[in-house]
């Protein structure tokens, strides 16, 4: 009996000790388990830590987004293979013609009979028809929805409802190649747009521009087509009108539209170049026509008519004009191999 009592007391003592030990060491076990993830993080960071004396460079990664440019739409001249024509001046225009205005002598020519889209060179005929019609230049015209470009989707600062005089519309059409202004000029012609386009084509025939056709007054349509030979005749006829000479060579102008004042500048930077004496000019561009330029200018002591069509590159028509000017400054009276002594 006494032995059983002693064994029972010993068993209770061992159980009490085990419980006490477990309770006393439980916080330490929990702390150890919580410390394991932290220790792993510290160890991982220590593994990445550079050794003493080693320099660490901060590398910035720049992401570049590459946008594939859409292929440029070829001009009609390119499709016809006209750019393969060689010339002594290495012009970027596939069509070129330089004529002495007084003698009608051809000084330089390159594909002068090729009939191509002429873009806003069209506006020179628009101005000629309006001017010769004797319509009042102080009459106020209104831009309407009919003047908004649905052919190419080009923009304009002349919003629908804008009002300008016919003279101001003529200025913006010639100087800044304003499409809505040119369309409004045709729309306000006696008989409307159909009568105006008919007058444009009738004038072309009267001038002997047999390869020329117009379908509208802005040049946005690629169906407006002509040749360098024909356009030289147009420049010569338009030059006879002082108002066309003045407006086409204006450098800049400010017009009032309602409560707004809008500033417009010439599309031809050569009018601001002191090395050029330009009496008349017009630029043009649509993708089918390339970059175009016609001018009357006095160079090397001569009054010249210059036509450049289907030039490849934003500034190449200006570059071509400069090449011709420099050649004329240094050339002998007879032109290079492609110059002709025939009359225009």
Catalytic-residue membership of 120 = yes
Report if residue 14 sits inside a domain.
no
Report if residue 51 sits inside a domain.
no
pLDDT of 333 reads: 55
Catalytic-residue membership of 49 = no
- Strands (E) across 175-237 are located at 225-226
Evaluate whether 295 touches 79 at the Cβ level (below 8 Å). Answer: no
How does DSSP classify residue 280?
A: E
Report if residue 20 sits inside a domain.
no
What does DSSP say about strands 252-257 and 93-100: parallel, antiparallel, or unpaired? Answer: unpaired
User: Structure tokens of 308?
Assistant: 């450049």
Range of the domain at 93: 76-330
Report if residue 7 sits inside a domain.
no
Convert the pLDDT of each residue in 171-210 to its tens digit.
999 999 999 999 999 999 999 999 999 999 999 999 999 9
Convert the pLDDT of each residue in 7-18 to its tens digit.
444 444 444 444
- Strands (E) across 101-238 are located at 106-110, 116-117, 140-142, 163-165, 225-226
The total domain count for the chain is 1
Catalytic-residue membership of 123 = yes
What length is written for the chain? 344
Question: Among residues 177, 227, 311, 316, which one is catalytic?
Answer: 177
pLDDT of 309 reads: 98
Question: Among residues 92, 110, 123, 203, which one is catalytic?
Answer: 123
Gap between the Cα atoms of 164 and 143, Å rounded:
8
Report if residue 3 sits inside a domain.
no
Residues with pLDDT less than 50, the chain: 1-54, 56, 59, 61, 67, 332, 334-339, 341
Evaluate whether 298 touches 279 at the Cβ level (below 8 Å). Answer: yes
Evaluate whether 203 touches 129 at the Cβ level (below 8 Å). Answer: yes
Token pair 């070829």 in the structure block, residue: 74
Report if residue 6 sits inside a domain.
no
Report if residue 19 sits inside a domain.
no
User: Structure tokens of 120?
Assistant: 């806003």
- With helix as H, strand as E and coil as C, how does 238-298 read? HHCCHHHHHHHCCCEEEEEECCEEEEEECCCHHHHCCCCCEEEEEEEEECCCEEEEEEEEE
Report if residue 198 sits inside a domain.
yes
* CATH number of the domain to which 154 belongs: 3.40.710.10
Question: Among residues 120, 156, 176, 266, which one is catalytic?
Answer: 120
Convert the pLDDT of each residue in 28-51 to its tens digit.
444 444 444 444 443 444 444 444
């Amino acid at each position: 009996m006494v032995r059983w009592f002693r064994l029972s007391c010993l068993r209770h003592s061992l159980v009490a000790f085990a419980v006490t030990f477990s309770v006393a060491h439980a916080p330490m076990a929990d702390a150890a388990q919580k410390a394991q993830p932290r220790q792993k993080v510290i160890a991982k960071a220590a593994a990445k830590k550079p050794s003493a004396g080693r320099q660490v460079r901060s590398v910035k990664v720049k992401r570049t987004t590459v946008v594939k440019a859409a292929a440029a739409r070829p001009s009609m001249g390119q499709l016809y293979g006209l750019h393969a024509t060689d010339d002594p001046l290495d012009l970027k225009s596939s069509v070129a013609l330089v004529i002495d205005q007084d003698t009608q002598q051809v000084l330089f020519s390159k594909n002068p009979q090729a009939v191509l889209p002429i873009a806003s060179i069209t506006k020179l005929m628009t101005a000629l028809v309006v001017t010769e019609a004797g319509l009042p230049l102080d009459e106020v015209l209104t831009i309407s929805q009919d003047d908004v470009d649905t052919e190419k989707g080009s923009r304009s600062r002349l919003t629908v409802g804008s009002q300008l005089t016919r003279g101001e519309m003529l200025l913006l059409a010639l100087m800044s190649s304003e499409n809505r202004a040119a369309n409004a000029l045709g729309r306000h012609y006696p008989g409307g747009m159909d009568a105006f386009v008919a007058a444009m084509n009738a004038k072309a025939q009267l001038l002997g521009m047999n390869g020329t056709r117009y379908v509208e007054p802005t040049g946005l349509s690629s169906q407006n087509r002509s040749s360098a030979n024909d356009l030289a005749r147009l420049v010569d006829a338009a030059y006879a009108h002082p108002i066309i000479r003045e407006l086409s060579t204006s450098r800049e102008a400010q017009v009032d539209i309602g409560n707004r004042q809008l500033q417009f500048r010439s599309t031809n930077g050569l009018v601001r170049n002191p090395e050029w004496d330009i009496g008349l000019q017009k630029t043009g561009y649509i993708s089918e026509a390339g970059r175009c330029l016609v001018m009357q200018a006095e160079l090397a002591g001569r009054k010249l008519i210059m036509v450049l069509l289907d030039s490849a590159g934003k500034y190449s028509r200006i570059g071509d004009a400069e090449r011709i000017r420099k050649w004329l400054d240094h050339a002998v009276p007879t032109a290079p191999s492609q110059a002709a002594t025939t009359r225009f």
